[in-house]
Chains A and B, each alone.
Chain A
C-alpha cells in the first residue's frame, strides 16, 4: 500500500518559494499611492510556501494515487473512456492556439476560426443535422442550450402551453436537471420489457402541454430503441420536438444519424465520442446541433465563412443568447478536430463498429455469471447485475466494484441506470484489446466465484489501494471541505 500524500499546506515552510519574477523595470511607487489603503488586504492569504522541487514531488506523488485511461481499463458506462491520442495534446499545446486572446482581431485568428468552422461542419455531417454551435462547455451545458432552443421555438410560435418535457426513466440525471433548469416540469416515461421507451405510455403522455422528448439512443442500457420511428411520429404529430442526448453517440458514427432518425436538436460530448481527455472531471465540450428550422435560436456566436474570411457571427436576433464567455472550450475543440482528421470517415465508422463488437464480446463472456436484465445484442455498452449473487451471498454491486480495484481496473458505472437493481453499466470502448477485455471478464468471473467461496474478501475490498473504503456518510455529517492552519 502506498503512503498517503500530505496536503500542500502541510509541507509549507515560511521563507520557501518556487516563483521568480523579473525585477520591476518601471519606477516604483508606494502601493499606498496607487491604491486606496482601505482596499488592501491586511492579512496575506494562507497560500503554501514551497520550493519547486517540493511542489513537483507533491503533485507527482499525488498523481500516482489516481487511476486513468493511460494506466488501465476504465469501462465507465456512458462516459466513453477511450484512449486519448497524444498528438491531439501536442496540437492543443501549439502556441498559435494557446497564446491567442479571444478578442484579437479576426484577421489574426483565421486558423482558429477555420478550425471551428470545419468542426461545426464535421459535427453536423456526423449528426445528420444542419447547423452547430460550439459554445456549450460540457454535455449538461449542451443539454441546457438544446432545451432552451426548444423553449424558444415554441415561444416564437406563441405556443405557451407546453410546460413539460418527457424523459425516459433510464435517462442520465442531467436530462431532468437540464429540463428543470430551463423551467420545465419533467414527466418520466417508463421503459418497456425490451429496454426501450414504453410507447403506450408515450402515447398517453404526449399532448399539447408537452414541449418535447429527450432521448438517448442507444440508451443508458446500451440498447438501440427499435421503436424510434413510432416515437418520432407520436412526438412530432402532436407538436413536440425531439432532443437527442449524444452521450452515447460512440455507437453510431457513420452507422446511423440522429438527424435521420428525426431528432431536431442534439448535443455531442467531444470528451466522450471524439477522444478528448476527461481531465479528472473536465474540461469537456458539448456542442449543440439543430435542424434548419431551429437555426435562428442557436447560441451565439457561430463561425461563418464570407468573402474568403472566417468570422464570428453574433447576428441572430432570436438566439437563446450566450451560454458562457467567448466561444466555447476552444482547446477541447482543437483536440476533437484533430481526432476527426486522424480517423476520417472510415475510421470513425470502424471505431463505432469495434466499440459495439467489444461490448458484445464482453457481455458474452460474463453473461453466464451475472444477470442480464435486457437480453439483447447491445450497442457500445451494456448493463448486468449480480442479482443471484447478492441473493445467495450478500455480495452487492458496490462490493464487486471495490473488489475490481484490487484487479487494477476501474469499476463500471454502478447503480445506474436507476431502473436496474444493482446495475453494473459497462462501456469498454473500441480502444481496448481483446486481451484487456479478457482480463476484465476473467476478473468479473473470479469475483463472482469469490462471492461464494470467500464473500468477506469481496465485501471488505479494496485491499490494495492507498485508502480503503471511505466513510462518505461521515464526510457529509462532519463536513470538512477546506484545510485550516492549526492555531
Chain B
C-alpha cells in the first residue's frame, strides 16, 4: 500500500515538462558509487487490512493492558474523557505544523494561549511556554536557564526527584559542564540539613519535586528559605494533577516550575509522547526556551494570536538561542487544554480529592497487614511507599498471578530500598480493586 496519487501517465507528462526522459536523470548528481543498489532488507508492503491485523496482533501481545495497575512513578492512569480524543482527532489540529503562518493557524495558536493561561493559573507563575518534550527534559532545560541566570556551575538535585528526571538533567548538564550533586533524603523527603551543607554562592539552582518521587510532600517552605538565602534559583518539578488541591509553587517561591503533563489527557502509552510543562517568573521570561504565543491585533484591529519573542529561538538566533528546541508537544498541550476545560475549576479539585481519599484508604488497609507498613510518615497525595516483608520485586511478581500490577519496586532506582514498593492510585481505582490488592498482599504476609 502506498499513498501516491500520480499515475504513470502523470509521471510521463511531468518528465516531459521537466525535459528529462526518466526520473533516474534527476538523481544524476549522486555519485554512482553512492547509489544504493538492490533492495532495502525490509519486509514487503502490506495492504491496509493486513497491516491492521498485524498491528492488532502486536498490540494484543501487550498483555499489561488487562491488568489492574497501581504503578505510578511518573506516569498515571487517570481517566481520559471522550472529548479529548474527539478534539485531538480533528485533523485541522493534528495534520498542521508549527504555526508560522498565523492567519491560517489561529486554532493552534489560540489553543496554546489557552494552555499557557491554564498552566499559569495552576502554578501561579507569570509565564508558561507552549510545552517541552516531557517533564524530565523540561527540568533539564530549567537547570540550563538557572546556570545562565546565575552564571554558576553547580546544580543541586534532591534524590527524591524522579530518577529519570535526574538522569536527563545529568545528560544536559554534562554538555554544559554544569556539575550536578545530589541531596540525600531522610524520612522520605529531602534532607534539609544536607541541602544546607551543600549550598553555597556557586550553586546555580536547587531542584526538588513536589510531591516527590516517593509520593511524599516535601517541606517546601523550609527548603525554599534555604535556597533563597543562597541566591540559587529554586526549581520545582510538580505533578500538575495535584494543583487543583495543593497550593501553587509560586506561593513557596519557585523561580521555575516544571512538570509532567501526561496526567492531563495523554495516555500512558508506554512512556510517550507526554507533555513537558515549563513556567517561570517574569524575570526569567526572556531566558525561557521553546515557543510562546502572544495576543495581538491584525491590520483591522481584530484580535489574533502569534508566536512571540521568537528572537530567543534557534530559527532566528541559531547558536545563541536559549535552547535548540524546535518542535514541542503541541498536540499533548491541546489534550491538556481540553482535559482542563472538561474538568474545570471544580472538577480538577474533585479528581484530586478522590485520589487523596482513595490513596489514604489503601494506605490504611495495607498498614494493617502484618509485615507491611507505610515507609514514612510524610503526608502524600495519590502515591505512597510501603515496606514489605520481602523484596518488593517478589511482591510485584506474586501479584501478577491475580492480574494486578502492585506498584513500582523502589529498589530499581534506590538499592537501599529493596523492600519498598511505590503504590499509586487514581480516581479510576475502585474499592474493589484496592481490596483485591490488599487481599493479595495479605496472602504474602
Contacts and interface: CB of A to CB of B under 8 A. Distances in A.
Contacts of A17: 344, 346-347
Interface string A204-242: 000000000000000000011010110000000000000
Interface in B69-112: 69, 71, 73-75, 77, 81, 83, 85-87, 89-108, 110-111
Nearest to B359: A34
A41 interface: yes
Contacts of B122: 45, 47
Nearest to A11: B341
A458 interface: no
A62 interface: yes
B94 A68 contact: yes
A45 B122 CA distance: 5
Contacts of B369: none
Contacts of A224: 27, 29-30
A462 B103 contact: yes
Interface in A241-267: 253-257, 260-261
Contacts of B42: 122, 125-126, 340, 344-345, 348
A452 interface: no
B443 interface: no
30 contacts: A7-B113, A9-B114, A21-B354, A41-B244, A59-B111, A63-B87, A81-B97, A108-B62, A108-B400, A112-B62, A148-B171, A174-B315, A254-B36, A254-B39, A260-B34, A279-B331, A282-B327, A283-B327, A326-B164, A329-B272, A331-B267, A344-B42, A344-B45, A356-B26, A357-B26, A360-B18, A361-B17, A467-B298, A480-B295, A482-B113
A465 B44 CA distance: 44
A370 interface: no
Contacts of A356: 23, 26-27
B340 A47 contact: yes
A345 B38 CA distance: 10
Interface stretch (B173-181, B183-191, B195-203, B225-233): B173-181
Given A112-B62, A476-B294, A256 B106 contact: no
Residue of B103, B128, B320 with most chain A CB atoms under a 10 A cut-off: B103
Contact of A102 (B61, B271, B348): B271
Given A122-B42, A278-B96, A256 B30 contact: yes
Contact of A475 (B3, B104, B130, B294): B294
A137 B272 contact: yes
Nearest to A180: B319
Given A45-B121, A256-B34, A321 B168 contact: yes
B356 interface: yes
A69 B87 CA distance: 17
A40 B244 CA distance: 9
Contact of B93 (A9, A68, A128, A151): A68
A369 interface: no
Contact of B64 (A109, A281, A350, A430): A109
B345 interface: yes
Interface string B1-44: 11111100011011101111001011111110111100111111
Contact of B90 (A60, A139, A331, A472): A60
Interface stretch (A50-58, A287-295, A388-396, A442-450): A50-58
A125 B40 contact: yes
Closest 9 CB pairs of A and B: A96-B59, A326-B271, A111-B61, A344-B45, A102-B271, A283-B273, A279-B331, A321-B171, A66-B107
Contacts of A282: 131, 133, 273, 327-332
Contact of B327 (A9, A140, A476): A140
Given A99-B267, A324-B137, A347-B2, A341 B309 contact: no
Contacts, number: 677
B300 to A, nearest CB: 6
B391 interface: no
B323 A181 contact: yes
Contacts of A40: 245-247
B151 interface: no
Interface string B317-338: 1111101111111111010011
B75 A279 contact: no
Interface string B233-245: 0000000000111
A455 interface: no
A238 B357 CA distance: 65
B1 A343 contact: yes
Interface string B266-278: 0111111110000
A31 to B, nearest CB: 6
B160 interface: no
B207 interface: no
A379 to B, nearest CB: 8
B264 to A, nearest CB: 11
A331 B269 contact: yes
Interface residues on A, range: 35 or more
Contacts of A177: 314, 317-319, 321, 323-324
B177 to A, nearest CB: 6
B303 interface: yes
Interface string A27-55: 11101001110111110111111101001
Contact of A50 (B128, B292, B331, B344): B344
Contacts of A350: 2, 4
B217 to A, nearest CB: 6
B430 interface: yes
B281 interface: no
Nearest to B211: A39
Greatest chain B CB density within 10 A among A138, A299, A432, A482 is at A482
B77 A101 contact: yes
Contact of B271 (A327, A460, A470): A327
B215 interface: no
A431 B5 contact: yes
Contact of A56 (B86, B97, B260, B327): B86
Contact of A34 (B26, B54, B356): B356
Chain B interface residue bracket vs A:
35 or more
A45 B348 contact: yes
Interface string A170-181: 001110111111
A472 B296 contact: yes
Contacts of A342: 1-3, 45-46, 48, 51
A280 B330 contact: yes
A434 B4 CA distance: 11
Given A17-B347, A278-B97, A105 B107 contact: no
A107 B60 CA distance: 12
Given A67-B105, A99-B65, A255-B27, 18 more contacts: A26-B358, A27-B361, A31-B245, A45-B243, A63-B93, A67-B101, A70-B91, A84-B94, A90-B55, A98-B268, A140-B325, A141-B137, A186-B319, A320-B171, A357-B14, A377-B18, A468-B103, A481-B128
Given A324-B136, A401-B101, A475-B296, A4 B164 contact: no
A344 B43 contact: yes
Nearest to A321: B171
B327 A271 contact: yes
Contacts of B267: 98-99, 331
B331 A283 contact: yes
Residue among B51, B246, B331 with the highest chain A CB neighbour number at 10 A = B51
Given A228-B34, A229-B31, A323-B137, A431 B295 contact: no
B135 interface: yes
Contacts of A138: 133, 325-327
B414 interface: no
A56 B3 contact: no
Nearest to B318: A176
A28 B135 CA distance: 32
B165 interface: yes
Contact of B71 (A42, A103, A345): A103
B254 interface: no
